[in-house]
Amino acid sequence: MSKVGQPAPLFSLFDTEKNKVNLADQKGKNIVLLFFPQAFTGVCTTELCTVRDSISQYNNTNAQVYGISVDSVFTLAKFKEEQQLNFPLLSDFNKEASASYDSLIQDFVFDMKGVSKRAAFVIDKEGIIQYAEILDKVTDLPDFNAIQATLARLN
């Protein structure tokens, strides 16, 4: 379902501005999907702020970055504002996108059920997955160098 060379699973999710974002409408640009477990947690904040601080690298490769978690639109809006994130965050509150990308943890801390795994995907302009990294440990960060190398190869 979420393997390199396969079409990216389509989704339609709301962003923090309450706009619906359809992956099908994103053809023609490279897409980076960053699934993350929970807003306001240490590693997630580090990950997304790392992308915030290097957003020009993504912009220079015609890449649109989306952060995705099962948090509500309202939680993600506050998180985005506090961290001054300069790319959209999408709410997968119903867990459908996370599941379709094999990026759903069934049992998380504090008896929480169903949060996004930390995962990164690069989707090319035709909607094909060119890079997939699903991390086993939520404390690990995606390989940003590998993501950038994939984007450079696509341009």
Which tokens in the block code for residue 25? 């409408």
* Rounded CA separation 17/7 (Å): 27
User: What CA–CA distances, in Å, run from 120 to 9, 88, 132, 133?
Assistant: 14, 15, 6, 5
Active site residue 49: no
User: What CA–CA distances, in Å, run from 58 to 29, 48, 113?
Assistant: 11, 13, 32
Question: 106 near 14, Cβ under 8 Å?
Answer: no
* Rounded CA separation 88/99 (Å): 20
User: What CA–CA distances, in Å, run from 3 to 70, 102, 131, 134?
Assistant: 22, 9, 8, 10
* Rounded CA separation 69/50 (Å): 17
Q: Of the listed 8, 21, 34, 44, which one is catalytic? A: 44
Active-site amino acid positions: 44
